[in-house]
Amino acid sequence: MLCSGCHMEIYTQWKGSMHSDSWTDPVYRSALHLMSEFSHGKIDNFCMGCHTPIGVVSREATPEGKNMSDAAVEGVQCEVCHNISRTSGVGNGSYVLTPKLHGRPLKFGPYKDAVSPIHDTAYSKLHTQSELCSDCHDVTHPFNKVPIERTYTEWRDSPYNGEGIQCQDCHMKPVPGRASPIGKDRDVVLRVRPGGHADESVIAGAFAPDLVPSKPRQAGIDHDAVEPGPAAVTAGNRVAEPPDPQEGVLHRILSVGG
């Protein structure tokens, strides 16, 4: 990834996160394979939109993962979150990406005085708020509207929101340092606190060592080795025949050509 050339320590932190494994995680890929077959492909973009955003907006992502670029395989990487200019709603991949403006690469972030010789920078209040995380961390079934995950909503309705504590305040707590060797000395995010899924690949390895051999979440995928559990497909989550196969898929990209 190009970002690692300047943001070495931040890149190292990202590389050890679940975001970096959002596409290669064998548990997710096996579930995607199962649901893609079950829905005859109608669920694909919905599932992939938050696990390989670049792969979806570039239309190169498939459940099989063949012939995908490195940028797409890297899952939720720097270019994803720092290209989000706004959200179009809550959950289900409601991000709007603006990778270029006026023909130049642009990165959004939480600092008003950031300067880079590689790309333009823009302060984004959104990047200091939990709403940034809401675009993928609330999930609603795209066809029958059943709530699947409510991480953002749970925060919104919690005392943390009332006290002004954002997701970033706990999961991306800044420490003194520099974002890059040429950056300013300041409190920057150099230590990412793991979330609730941080150890799921370790657990998966304990129960299915053949599936997750040496490096969990980045190992090859044997779909036949994963059997759906009793709650894998329930009547409440059964995929209905939608009027539009892409209903509920909200991710968008703007200003690609400048």
Q: How confident is the model over 55-65, as pLDDT tens digits?
A: 999 999 999 99
- What is the rounded distance in angstroms from the CA atom of residue 87 to the CA atom of residue 85? 7
Predicted local distance difference test score (pLDDT) of residue 242:
36
Instruction: For residue 93, count other CB atoms closer than 10 A to its CB.
Output: 26
Top-confidence residue, 174 or 144: 144
Residue with tokens 């797409």: 72
- Torsion-angle region of 33 (φ positive above 0: left; ψ -120 to 50: alpha; else: beta): alpha
Cβ atoms of residues 204 and 227 within 8 Å: no
For the whole model, what pTM was predicted?
0.74
Q: Give the pLDDT mean for 215-235.
A: 32
Question: Both tokens of residue 39?
Answer: 């829905």
pLDDT tens-digit readout, 32-57: 999 999 999 999 999 999 999 999 99
Predicted confidence (pLDDT) at residue 218 exceeds the cutoff of 80: no
Q: Give the pLDDT mean for 81-87.
A: 95
- Residue 252 forms beta bridges with which residues? 96
- Torsion-angle region of 93 (φ positive above 0: left; ψ -120 to 50: alpha; else: beta): left
- What is the rounded distance in angstroms from the CA atom of residue 256 to the CA atom of residue 258? 5
Cβ atoms of residues 192 and 17 within 8 Å: yes
Per-residue pLDDT band at 254 (split at 50, 70, 90): low
